[in-house]
Structure 1
């Protein structure tokens, strides 16, 4: 039974529950259709689910009134169906959110999302969600490098619960930098997704600094009885607004010349468009960056190949040259 039919069914029961009952004409109004057969089918459906309905002749008229018996009517007196409507923009927004959940593939979260959409499917035109799936390029995540979090549900749940309750945790974490597993206490602050992976801003209690943990490298979580207050000087959204990666290190300034071929694409992005300090006659642009994440800035410059040249500072130019020479030595 579709969602619209369910709503009509409840409204039909409400009409039958009135003291004077309802007529077939009034049931047709509930259905929004001038179809007596459909109104009678609704009566049959209501009776079929065990609601006792009887007919009562109207004195001096051929018409009949249909009612629910008094005992059942009293039980149903408080029945109230909220006005639940879902528009096409609502559906499109939900489908977009669903498409961005590929990072949860294989986890209980994916199962829960699928179950939720199965329930919502009853309240939209039949086959609509299936039809929207044909618009894959509009909704589908383009990230082919999404990490696998199956089996991490317990750790994810523990971290979410600790974050909501503001509770310090003892974690066992595999550090690539140290090449081993370590144990330390954290205050979990903020989850975010980056390049197909789930990450977490935390404050380490031993050093009182903000760090980023990769969820897949968290091996164990043990919430403690200690609570914490969120640091007032920490703004996760501001930290994530920078375009160059997620590692916030020392500030870096960079002046980069980008060729005309690549400048066309670069200027489509507001971040770079706002940082153009000069335009050359051949269409090339010079951008001035003030950001953090030196490693990611170097990676971005290298990704442009011969279409980008570092003009300054000298040490950044030397870093890029060193990387290019190391790359060339392998060929």
Structure 2
């Protein structure tokens, strides 16, 4: 499991026999203790007859002394491990009382991992999903033995999930529920929707094809009868919603992933080949991530970088480029260069009070 590896040079954690945790530097071997101990628990829990120390050492490619040290650490931490002898060998297993508490189809380690992920639910707070998942996590908590919860608490002290900006959905539970039920039942919705770009409310008839949670926001993807096209609706901008008596069939060729691929976020459009130059101060950061499925990176001798991708020219793309400040420069296409130049001139005028002439609007407007 990824969360058990020390991210970004974070010190790794090791159990000592006394149950005390000590930090060690990032120069430890790749088989760091927490990750390996997790793999040991998983291997033992997934085996009906248990595992020998030799089998564990072979599976994890470490020596027997390391395995015995890890098993001792897990027992000290409170995991209900025991050994039984069969055919002249000692097999390590979990107590049957622990296995018996686990509802099918979840395994012991799957429940541990699932419960650990409860910290990821902040962005779903005040939604019916949060309430249901929170209830599930409470049930998982009651299923896990106290020793396992103590071990999870230890792990959680070494790893924190950063909280991004998110929207509050306390007053939107009815809208979310209605949209979800309509999408599942293939029922057309009648709604009043506020368009942020047009700053106005309009009545719409929408066939909800798909619900999408992206970057802290719930969206409904569906066919808008008013516009005669597939559109994306932010659920928090729906003012009123009600199901109609009409039903629909989702087109067989509808593919939400393919539909979103051209965009740089939520907005979609016709993709253009984009080239962006990043100087040496930002090139390393750009290389660390996959920003778009079609991206190609071309490192330059001076440490700079050219980013290329086929992306729809949306406001989201513009804001991403602007977020890099003067370290990024769009090379092509010309209409994106012009749009960004005009935005930068307007920003400069706000801070300097000096207005410079803008270039004519792009012949191909941004999506």
1:116 pairs, out of 124, 131, 136, with 136
Mapping of residues 191-270 of structure 1, within 5 Å? 191-241=211-261, 244-270=264-290
Other-structure match for 1:318: 338
Distance in 1, Cα, partners of 2:282 & 2:173: 42
Other-structure match for 2:349: 329
Q: CA deviation at 1:84?
A: 6.8
Other-structure match for 1:301: 321
RMSD: 2.9
Given that 1:174 and 1:182 are in contact with CA atoms closer than 8 Å, whether structure 2 keeps it comes out as yes
Question: Which is further off, 86-95 or 124-133?
Answer: 124-133
Q: CA deviation at 1:141?
A: 4.9
Given that 1:170 and 1:223 are in contact with CA atoms closer than 8 Å, whether structure 2 keeps it comes out as yes
Distance in 2, Cα, partners of 1:316 & 1:82: 55
SS at match of 2:146: coil
Q: CA deviation at 1:250?
A: 3.1
Q: 1:278 to 1:109 in 2, by over 3 A?
A: closer
Q: CA deviation at 1:112?
A: 2.6
SS at match of 1:147: coil
Q: CA deviation at 1:242?
A: 5.1
Mapping of residues 267-278 of structure 1, within 5 Å? 267-271=287-291, 275-276=295-296, 278=298
Superposed CA deviations along residues 229-261 of structure 1, whole A, max 9, x for unmatched, are: 112332112233456121002322221111122
Distance in 2, Cα, partners of 1:305 & 1:240: 26
Distance in 2, Cα, partners of 1:242 & 1:93: 32
SS at match of 2:245: strand
1:91 aligns with 2:112: yes
Given that 2:166 and 2:217 are in contact with CA atoms closer than 8 Å, whether structure 1 keeps it comes out as yes
1:125 aligns with 2:145: yes
Other-structure match for 2:37: none
Q: CA deviation at 1:131?
A: 5.9
Name structure 2 gaps, 5 residues minimum.
1-81, 84-101, 352-367
SS at match of 1:148: coil
> Which one scores higher on RCO, CA 8 angstroms, separation ≥ 6?
1
Distance in 2, Cα, partners of 1:202 & 1:273: 23
SS at match of 1:330: helix
Other-structure match for 1:177: 197
The TM-score normalised by the length of structure 2 is 0.61
SS at match of 1:122: helix
Q: Which has the larger radius of gyration?
A: 1
Other-structure match for 1:140: 161
Stretches of 4+ aligned residues off by more than 6 angstroms: 81-84
Other-structure match for 2:17: none
